[in-house]
């Protein structure tokens, strides 16, 4: 179905729950260059993401997915339009206040993990809190809790070089979640992982959304997008379509299984993780 998100400016208040949106993107356009060299990376995008919602973003390479994510996280500002995180217009803030919101409200998960090689897992996870002025003991306690939530507490003293790809990514997710950030942005978080490790990462992201975090994930893979509540599609800088999880099930395939089997496998995996997160 055609997405309503590009036809109307979203309200800050979610109509179905009455709660404030975590992320609101209003008619956002991002261009680079001028005149004949002007390139439109994103055009008139509208999107709303509330607490507990998991949204996937799909589209061809160069379509504007990463631009959307960078705007959502305050790593870039729109040429026109607005991006609001918990009601605050990021572009209207000075550099210091925008950086503070990124540290305290927004978590990032990248394809290449971006863990500091000289630090062990608990030090990597606590590092952003320590930068924000947290006492080391309090920061390490919060970091251990985040590692426990992502099922890798046993890796607390291990350095990145001694972790598998899936383990390193879950440590990176713990770092993104530490301090109870309410918005989680993930850019191809499964891109460097095998199928099994990718599924475990998706279990963590789904679990965090179910716990109230707002999750926005860029992915190329339909089987991982199917974990989201809805998927938006971007082409040539425009959000062109949107589908809900029910509609998207027909696109979900996994290792040759038919759609029903794949959906059952996904649902079973989610159930097992939510009941036994430390065993994954």
Query: What H or E segment, with its residue span, contains residue 271?
Result: helix 259-275
Q: Give the sign of the dihedral formed by CA 26, CA 32, CA 35, CA 39.
A: negative
Give the residue from 233, 203, 223 showing the smallest Cα distance to 215. 203
Whose CA is closest to 266, among 251, 248, 280, 254?
254
Burial zone of 260 (CB within 10 Å; 0-12 exposed, 13-18 middle, 19+ buried): exposed
Tokens 């992201």 belong to which residue? 205
pLDDT tens per residue across span 10-48: 333 333 444 579 999 999 999 999 888 899 999 999 999
Residues 101-119: pLDDT tens digits?
988 899 999 888 899 999 9
Where helices occur in 107-164 by DSSP H, the ranges are 121-131, 136-149
Question: Smallest Cα–Cα separation from 213: which of 19, 15, 14, 54?
Answer: 54
106 sits in which H/E element: strand 106-110
pLDDT, tens digit, 9 for 90 and up, residues 207-237: 999 999 999 999 999 999 999 999 999 999 9
pLDDT at site 267: 53
- Intra-chain end-to-end CA distance of the chain, in Å: 36
Eight-state DSSP code of residue 94:
-
Phi/psi for 37 (5° steps) reads -95, 5
CATH class of the region 55-63+94-279: alpha beta
Share of residues in the chain with pLDDT > 70 (%): 80
Helix (H) or strand (E) holding 184: strand 183-187
Placement of tokens 């956002």 in the chain: 28
Lowest mean pLDDT segment, chosen from 16-20, 150-154, 174-178: 16-20
Per-domain residue ranges of the chain: 55-63+94-279
């Amino acid at each position: 179905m055609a997405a309503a998100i590009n036809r109307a400016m979203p309200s800050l208040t979610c109509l179905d729950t009455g709660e404030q949106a975590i992320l609101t993107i209003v008619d956002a356009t991002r261009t680079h260059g001028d005149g004949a060299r002007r390139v439109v990376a994103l055009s008139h995008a509208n999107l709303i993401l509330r607490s507990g919602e998991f949204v996937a973003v799909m589209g061809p390479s160069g379509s504007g997915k990463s631009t959307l994510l960078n705007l959502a996280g305050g790593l870039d500002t729109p040429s026109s339009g607005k991006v609001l995180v918990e009601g605050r217009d990021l572009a209207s803030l000075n550099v210091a206040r925008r950086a503070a919101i990124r540290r305290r409200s927004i978590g990032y998960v990248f394809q290449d993990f971006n863990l500091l090689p000289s630090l062990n897992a608990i030090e990597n996870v606590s590092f952003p809190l320590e930068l924000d002025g947290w006492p080391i003991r309090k920061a390490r306690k919060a970091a251990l809790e985040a590692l426990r939530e992502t099922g890798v507490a046993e890796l607390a003293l291990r350095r990145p070089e001694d972790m598998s790809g899936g383990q390193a990514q879950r440590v990176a997710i713990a770092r993104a979640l530490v301090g109870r950030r309410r918005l989680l942005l993930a850019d191809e978080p499964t891109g460097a992982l095998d199928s099994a490790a990718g599924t475990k990462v998706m279990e963590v992201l789904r679990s965090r959304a179910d716990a109230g975090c707002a999750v926005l994930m860029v992915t190329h893979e339909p089987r991982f997008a199917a974990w989201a509540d809805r998927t938006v599609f971007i082409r040539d800088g425009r959000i062109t379509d949107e589908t809900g999880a029910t509609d998207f099930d027909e696109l979900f395939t996994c290792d040759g299984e038919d759609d029903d089997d794949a959906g059952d496998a996904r649902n079973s995996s989610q159930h097992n993780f939510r009941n036994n997160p430390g065993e994954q």
